[in-house]
A and B are shown apart, each in its own frame.
Chain A
Amino acid sequence: MRRAANVLRIVALGALLAFLLTPQSFARLFAPFTEYGAPPIYDQGNLLTLALAQLGTVLLAAAASSLVAVGLGILVTRPSGAEFLPLSRTLVNIGQTFPPVAVLAVAVPLVGFGLKPTLIALFAYGLLPIFENTMVGLKTVPAAVLEAASGMGMSARQRLLSVELPLAMPLILEGIRLSLVISVGTATIGSTVAAKGLGEVIIAGLLSNNTAFILQGGLVTGLMAVLLYDALAGLERRLCARAHIE
């Protein structure tokens, strides 16, 4: 079973890299999806550069979301911060339910076009899974463990860093992984405000009725998301095993 999964991984990664590095070699594959002799492979920009740019945007936004969401999650599970829970929840929920495209529309007049509004939209959209998971992770630390930690003389800070966060880590990492992977797909909207990414391949395809372009943009994004999800799962497993956390 594991061998089959590894083979699939290698094949998927291989296919993705092959396409990004030598896109024209796939021309014949995409040709049936074009009409009237339109170019089968996106030629208005380097696909590899676009893919990396999108990945970069996603990672940057995810780093910011993680920092803020985990921080908020820790805050609202402290006795002094418990009263901020409803407010935090509301803000984070708004970030999720407010369509990213709408966030873009609001952010552009404020910060201009390109990377900045895209980061804002992805940041807001990515908060919810991380926040909720952090909260649940911290709340489900066994009471006896917390009691013992306090009873032995750990300060609140030591308890948080040595006991609560390590034990909540699997759930927090899970939340970050989820948020990151959803972001990969969402990041395509950045192209509507001139951010560099695979969205422009899809949009070019929509504008010129070129299904091949749409497929390329979608498939590369999808493959990136799946491979990232898989890689992060493996990393998570290894990190947790090393720290003796299930």
Chain B
Amino acid sequence: MLSRRGFLRAGIVGGVLLGGAAIVGRSLSGYHLDAVTASRLRALSPKEYLVMQAVARRVLAADADDAPSADAVDVAGAVDTYVAKLPPAVQREVRALLQLVEHGSSLFRGRATRFTHLTPAEQDATLADWQHSSLVVRQRGFQALRTLAFLGYWRDDRTWPLIGYSGPMLPKRAL
């Protein structure tokens, strides 16, 4: 029922703008991910992983020291695992969204700077811009990005003590 939340909201993502973002994204380079992590990726490219990691660090910026960091629970890796299970068309949308936030943010803010190169404060401002934008594509993009980050974070047993969640009755299985 209603407790079944929609959380990806990346159906959001279609359209000319994102298609363009995907094309632009492919033409740029300069992203360095360690070989071990890169070799594990199933859906995202190393660049997309790094963009997701940058988004996750801001979306999941903690209010206190006891919270594991987004990097500590490898949010971007978990998002990659999740996205790999989605239909190919949805995978393309998610990847296009990550290209858009990386390159489209500067487009909107009037500066030619990638999201991953912004300071944390600038990244926060960019995400807030998207959240409150009058452009539906950006609002939708914001919702999709933050929910992907939430999925990657709150799935992890190590985050549950923060919120007192007792977790599943079943033991975790090796997949």
Question: Do A and B assemble together?
Answer: no
